[in-house]
Structure 1
Amino acid sequence: MIRTSGAAYLELIGSLFADPGADPAAATAAAFTGAAETLRELDFADPCPIATVALEVAGTHEGLRRATADVFASWIEALAARYAGAGIGTDTARDTAGSVIALLEGAFMLARAAHDTAPVRTAARAAAAVVRDALESG
């Protein structure tokens, strides 16, 4: 279930970055904005079941912890590949992707608690800035 859900979410990365000529910072911000709208449409229901499982059982169930870690790693690698394809160095692309995923997951948690999409929209600007910085540094 975790790996299946993770694979479904992984497909979103490909669709969000389908245009190879698109500005990756703008695409990242647009992904966050879209996630904010989806969160509102779902009435702030769980936007990421992987994070929920990780938060609930990571300390008590090694198999589920490993499965959630694998899913997050697959998302980071896929996003890093997109960023590297846009000209960001491999190591920087991986760090950037990890930061973007962390920003999104943290924003989801804050948005659900506040019942407000503002944290996701704020994180969109931060994520875009992280990507722009990585692009500038190569």
Structure 2
Amino acid sequence: MIRTSGTAYGRMVLVLLDSVSDPVESVVHAFEAAADDLEAADYADACPIGTVALEVASSNEVLRIATAEVFEEWVGAATRWFGHGVAEPKAAQSLAYSMVMVLEGAFMPSRAARDPEPLRVAGRSMATSVRTAIAQADAD
């Protein structure tokens, strides 16, 4: 179930990213959609993997490995997505890790405060990182 829901969630994020042509605006759009979805769910559901990963990291090796593999899958897919605008593979991978970490991290304060703003702020912050990476790639 973790791998299935993780794969489905990863695909949903890629669909959101692909729905806007500009990569900077695309990232903002994806985080805005996450904020809207979380608010619509009355803050009950966020990422299907993050909560499990936090709970099982030190107590259930099988589930820990499953969640780690899902995160690895997401980073790989996001690295390929960012690779369309950032030719340097390490830079694309760095953006991918950052996006996953920023999204997962923003879910916690949004849920705790029952406020979508942390996700929106995280999206704008991530957009700044993407804009910087693209500008640097264009300069090289």
Deviation string 1:79-119 (CA, Å, 9 cap, x unpaired) is 11011012341111001110011111111011000010110
**Structure 2 unaligned blocks of 5 or more:** none
Task: Give the distance between the partners of 2:51 and 2:98, measured in 1 at CA.
Answer: 18
Task: Give the distance between the partners of 2:29 and 2:120, measured in 1 at CA.
Answer: 10
**Structure 1 unaligned blocks of 5 or more:** none
Identity of aligned residues (%): 44
Q: How many equivalent residue pairs?
A: 137
Question: Counterpart of 1:8 in structure 2: which amino acid?
Answer: A
Deviation string 1:6-33 (CA, Å, 9 cap, x unpaired) is 11012113312335x8111110110000
Q: Is the 8 A contact 1:3 1:67 kept in 2?
A: yes
Task: Give the distance between the partners of 1:101 and 1:48, measured in 2 at CA.
Answer: 11
Task: Give the distance between the partners of 2:129 and 2:65, measured in 1 at CA.
Answer: 28
C-alpha deviation, 1:130, in angstroms: 1.0
Task: Give the distance between the partners of 1:14 and 1:43, measured in 2 at CA.
Answer: 24
Question: Counterpart of 2:14 in structure 1: which amino acid?
Answer: G
Q: Is the 8 A contact 1:84 1:93 kept in 2?
A: yes
C-alpha deviation, 1:131, in angstroms: 0.8
**Structure 1 residues 135 and 88: CA distance shift in structure 2, 3 A:** farther
Q: Is the 8 A contact 1:13 1:78 kept in 2?
A: no
**Structure 1 residues 120 and 74: CA distance shift in structure 2, 3 A:** same
Q: Is the 8 A contact 2:17 2:30 kept in 1?
A: no
Match of 1:85 in 2: 84
Runs of 4+ in 1 over 3 A off after TM superposition: none
Q: Is the 8 A contact 2:75 2:97 kept in 1?
A: yes
Using the size of structure 2 for normalisation, the TM-score is 0.93
User: What value does the CA root-mean-square deviation take over the aligned residues?
Assistant: 1.3
Match of 1:119 in 2: 118
**Structure 1 residues 56 and 117: CA distance shift in structure 2, 3 A:** same
1:1-138 equivalent positions in 2, closer than 5 A: 1-18=1-18, 22-138=21-137
